[in-house]
Amino acid sequence: MLQTISLMVIFISAPVVFVLLFFVTAPYGRHFRGGWGPSISARAGWMIMEAPALLVIGITVISSGQRLAVLAAAMWGLWELHYLYRTCLFPLLMRGSSKRFPLLLVVFAFVFNTLNGYVNGTYLSSPGLLISDGSFISNVRVGVGIALFAAGFLTHVMSDRDLRRLRRPDEAGYKIPRGGLWEYVSSPNYFGEIMEWCGWALAVWSLPALGFVVFTIANLVPRAWANRKWYQENFEDYPRERKSVIPFVF
């Protein structure tokens, strides 16, 4: 019952979030502004809101008492790799200790990550689960999915690194990122994250994984659009041909 309710919340909230974020820009990072209630340091905010994604799936899998098949364990490992980076390393590498993050957004993200970790952990620990049935098509699906995840993870991490390198530790403000995927889209870090979870969903081939990637797209695409709009409004020389998040498309 809890699994079904959690999935319903994820699928129903995705289109709501998608539409809403085109009208109300999420107030953090370059878009941070007052009027959203109490705020905490951005570093603490990232760690707190991402922590359930790192921990809940593991608690769910371990508490199930099921021994995971090799591929299911591998997919769990990829999930944890991403969230070790997002929960621990990314916040520690952030520049600008004075940045703030609305507590309201931290709570929303905390709840979503808890539900998402639970439904995907429950699926991975399902008795007798086979990520691949051994057929050629199934093996190709898993292989392509893992490769896509790896490519997306590298894109995501390297794009974050590019943003950090734009300014020295003692510098404030923003600059136009250039080179690589930055020449094609305003938010290659979001593009990489979308690639990751599309690959993960392709490999796992489950309703919870699909729900996660649908929500990821619904959350990141309008945020990338808002980033592009912000750059255009704040930099006269910002390349107009750059798309928001999908090269040559949007």
128 confidence band (pLDDT: 50, 70, 90): confident
> What amino acid is encoded at 68 in this protein?
L
The Cα 2–Cα 207 span in angstroms is 15
Categorize the per-residue pLDDT at 70 as very low, low, confident or very high, splitting at 50, 70 and 90.
very high
Residue 184: what pLDDT? 97
- For residue 60, which of 128, 121, 123 has the smallest C-alpha distance? 121
Neighbour count for residue 171 (Cβ, 10 Å): 11
pTM for the whole thing? 0.94
Helix/strand/coil for 243: strand
Judged against a pLDDT cut of 80, whether residue 76 lies above it is answered with yes
Pair 80, 39: CB distance under 8 Å: no
DSSP codes, 66-116: PPPPHHHHHHHHHHHHHHHIIIIIHHHH-S-TT-EEEHHHHHHHHHHHHHH
pLDDT digits (tens, 9 = 90+) for 194-214: 999 999 999 999 999 999 999
Confidence check: pLDDT of 96 > 70: no
Cα(68)–Cα(145) distance, integer angstroms:
19
pLDDT at 58: 96
Give percent of the chain with pLDDT exceeding 70.
98
pLDDT surpassing 80 at residue 172:
no
Q: What is the mean pLDDT of the chain?
A: 94
Percent of the residues in the chain that have a pLDDT greater than 90, as a whole number: 82
Which tokens hold the place of 1? Answer: 């019952």
pLDDT given for residue 33 in this prediction:
87
CA 154 from centroid of its chain's CA atoms = 13
Arithmetic mean of pLDDT, 136-152: 97
Helix (H) or strand (E) holding 241: none
pLDDT band at 2 (very low <50, low <70, confident <90, very high): confident
Task: With cut-offs at 50, 70 and 90, classify the pLDDT of residue 97.
Answer: low
pLDDT over 90 (residue 95)? no
What per-residue confidence (pLDDT) applies to 94?
A: 86
Mean pLDDT of 163-175: 80
Partners of 39 in beta bridges: 102
**Residue type (1 letter), 225:** W
